[in-house]
Amino acid sequence: MASMEAQSTRVFLPPGISPRLAAAAEEALAQVAPQWEAAARRGEELQWRVLACLQEQRLGEADLGAGVGYGYGDSGRAKLDRAMARLFGAEAALVRQSVVSGTHAVALALFAALRPGDELLVATGEPYPSLAGILGLRHGTPGSLAEWGVSCRVADGPERAAAAVGPRTKAVLIQRSRGYAWRSSLGVGAIGELIGRLRAARPELRTVVDNCYGELVEELEPTAVGADLIAGSLIKNPGGGLAPGGGYVAGRAELVERAAARLTAPGLGSQIGPALSPHRIFFQGLFLAPQVVAAAVQGAVFAARFFELLGFETLPGWEEPRTDIVQAVRLGSAEAVLAFCRGVQLSAPVDAHAVPEPGDLPGYSQPVVMAGGTFVQGASLELSADAPLAPPYVVYLQGGLTRSHAVWGAVGAARELERRGFLP
Ligand SMILES: *Cc1c(COP(=O)(O)O)cnc(C)c1O
């Protein structure tokens, strides 16, 4: 007789899949039950915490609307900032629709932390491609930190970072999620230890964490373990799949205000800026975010085991602890990457008929293929997959607004691999 636990992980599978895929999916679903249970539990605990943060702000109907003009005295804006700060264990937060992306949010944090003549050390190795422009690693990018007289060095991974702190190093950038690198993401515990080692080398160092894809996966955020600033995108985790855009910076109040001065103007800072579109969807997204993130984590754990059973190398492994929602699968060829992305796209609610093609994106130096099919363009807490079309041909799968959709995306990708003869 099936136990209640086995029952609880039963997911409707797409009809018509091959016996091999059905068997692998059923086996994976049965095996990941403990991880799914843990993710669901984390999602509930964190949603409870979000609820408390909103109540603490005395969120009311009047806070849910939009602002126009200067946007002075916008209570919704202030309450969203404070609720997010409390949730993240930070002194302050700047949560804005006018932050165009995660890259923009990280740029605000770095320009807040650094001044001409300073040096930035990237602690986690080669940074996410879209950050290279901010740092000035890509020669001649207009407006880069390099143009402002800030130099940048990349340390050879977190273990070597403290030893790499030099006399002019003023700030350190720590990337939590793996980006397009075949390495482990950095858990919040490991980030706390790294910050400890960096502060032992130089107590006044400013630490900035690129928190993209990490929010609400673990109990704590990096701001609760000593990070001076964290930054991320609202079309990833903290927008709950509902926010139509935006980004945030959170951390020490004085630095968050400097980020606001960069976003608006010195002297204006965080007290100005009309919301233009109503705050409602951002509060609603934040309220749902923990459980949507939990579904995405469940999908990633399923995909890890499912693709491993099908003969692929996956990172992280299905039993490893999670600090972000991204699942890397090593496919080994450009054709297999394209088939995988096609399968994810075929599983989408929007543009399922479109065929993902590699293209050049602003901020990326290699052609990247992206399977989206999302309600919000580029939103990657929604089911999505992307890959630089270059060796070692690894695809990065993430998101799913429900755990069933996340499972269908992985199964859909496998179905295309199977159809084209790419299953080992
Ligand atoms: C998504 C992401 C970013 C920012 O990307 P945007 O597309 O600008 O939002 C930065 N760093 C990492 C590690 C990311 O995953």
CA–centroid distance, 56 to ligand 1, in Å, is 31
Q: Report the distance separating Cα 273 and Cα 251, nearest Å.
A: 20
Give, for ligand 1, the residue of 213, 234, 361 to mutate: max count of ligand atoms closer than 8 Å to Cβ: 213
Give, for ligand 1, the residue of 212, 249, 324, 325 to mutate: max count of ligand atoms closer than 8 Å to Cβ: 212
Question: Which residue's C-alpha comes closest to atom 6 of ligand 1?
Answer: 102
Q: Does residue 314 line the site of ligand 1, with CB under 6 A?
A: no
CA–centroid distance, 175 to ligand 1, in Å, is 10
- Name the CA radius of gyration of the chain, rounded: 21
CB 373 within 8 A of CB 358: no
Q: What angle do CA 76, 78, 82 make, to 5 degrees?
A: 115
CA–centroid distance, 343 to ligand 1, in Å, is 23
Question: Which residue's C-alpha comes closest to atom 4 of ligand 1?
Answer: 102
Question: Which residue's C-alpha comes closest to atom 2 of ligand 1?
Answer: 212
pLDDT tens for the chain, residues 1 to 424: 444 444 457 899 999 999 999 999 999 999 999 999 999 999 999 999 999 999 999 999 999 999 999 999 999 999 999 999 999 999 999 999 999 999 999 999 999 999 999 999 999 999 999 999 999 888 789 999 999 999 999 999 999 999 999 999 999 999 999 999 999 999 999 999 999 999 999 999 999 999 999 999 999 999 999 999 999 999 999 999 999 999 999 999 999 999 999 999 999 999 999 999 999 999 999 999 999 999 999 999 999 999 999 999 999 999 999 999 999 999 999 999 999 999 999 999 999 999 999 988 877 778 999 998 999 999 999 999 999 999 999 999 999 999 999 999 999 999 999 999 999 9
Q: Is 159 helix (H, G, I), strand (E, B) or coil?
A: helix
Q: Does residue 212 line the site of ligand 1, with CB under 6 A?
A: yes
Question: Which residue's C-alpha comes closest to atom 14 of ligand 1?
Answer: 212
- Inter-CA distances, 355 with 279, 399, 418, Å: 34, 19, 17
| b/e map 198-211, b = 16+ CB within 10 Å | bbeebeebbbbbbb
- Inter-CA distances, 364 with 127, 152, 154, 181, 397, Å: 12, 19, 18, 14, 18
Q: Does residue 233 line the site of ligand 1, with CB under 6 A?
A: yes
Provide φ and ψ at 157, rounded to 5°.
95, 160
CA–centroid distance, 138 to ligand 1, in Å, is 17
Quote the pTM value.
0.96
Amino acid in position 392: P
Q: Looking at the CA of residue 213, tell me the nearest atom of ligand 1.
A: 15
Q: Which residue has the tokens 């202030």?
A: 78
Can the peptide bond before residue 392 be classed as cis, meaning omega within 30 degrees of 0?
yes
